[in-house]
Amino acid sequence: MAEVLTLIFEFQGLEPLDALNAITRVLVKNAISLRDVRLYGRPIPFSRIATSLERDKRDTFFVTAEGFEIHLTSVRNHHFNGLSIKSDQPLGANWDKWLFELLNEHFVFAWVADAEYDFWQNAADPLQFRAHGRPWEHLPKTSNGLPPPLERIVVDISQNPGRRTLRRGFIEAVGSQMWLGERFWGLTGAEKQHVMSAPFLRSTEIAPGILRIESSINCFTTDQGQIGNLQRELRELLFP
């Protein structure tokens, strides 16, 4: 079961070389050796990625390796940077180690998700379903909002509890484990004390200004029943 850790930073708040250096430290400390490394699909030694980014003056990167996918994005129109680290092997508590290396003063928040669940909760294009042989005709539908002739009927994900929604300065999303920085509260309007006292959460201040919350030991993998309701409660609490 693949998991993905996503971290959100203020716009231009995480430099590519800083991210690569932090990732390198985690790999070394945990004796993880990346094999079959590729930068935007091109084979490259991991040690050469920084040089390539500097030469091409890139402020983002997409690195794949055996068992890993690491993607730094810059979302200018919503004014934030995102870093996602996908691992084919669930890392559990080890995600804390990745987070601590990557933290800086521009950190907003982070969450862990089951990669497959996250993908299908946010799949709106019918082509995605057809490509994987999954039925979609029974799902709610809506217009993509574009004028003719670009208008298309797409899957309506607006009520999916695991959906990701772009906001100014952050992404509205929830996970069974989350880390909330000081900037999170001002951007979302959530009340820190309300979050810390929520009966369905285990909350710990793991560093100055960093609140770790856990609603389930395992990543969410369904939008049904009690687990679906738990995700909805989290959304209401964190993104009022």
212 contacts 111 by C-beta, under 8 angstroms: no
**Residue 210, beta-bridge partner list:** 207
Confidence (pLDDT) at 93: 57
Three-class SS state of 58: coil
Please check whether residue 3 is in contact with residue 90, taking contact to mean a CB–CB distance below 8 angstroms.
Answer: yes
Q: Over the stretch 56-90, which tens digit does the pLDDT of each residue have?
A: 999 999 999 999 999 999 999 999 999 999 998 76
What single-letter DSSP state applies at residue 215?
S
- Of 87-91, 133-137, 187-191, which one has max mean pLDDT? 187-191
- Both tokens of residue 50? 């920084």
d(CA 168, CA 209): 21
Query: What is the share, in percent, of the chain residues with pLDDT greater than 90?
Result: 91
The token duo for 57 is 């003056």
Sequence spans of domains, the chain: 3-122+157-238
Count CA atoms within 13 Å of residue 190 on its CB side: 26
pLDDT higher than threshold 90 for residue 94:
no
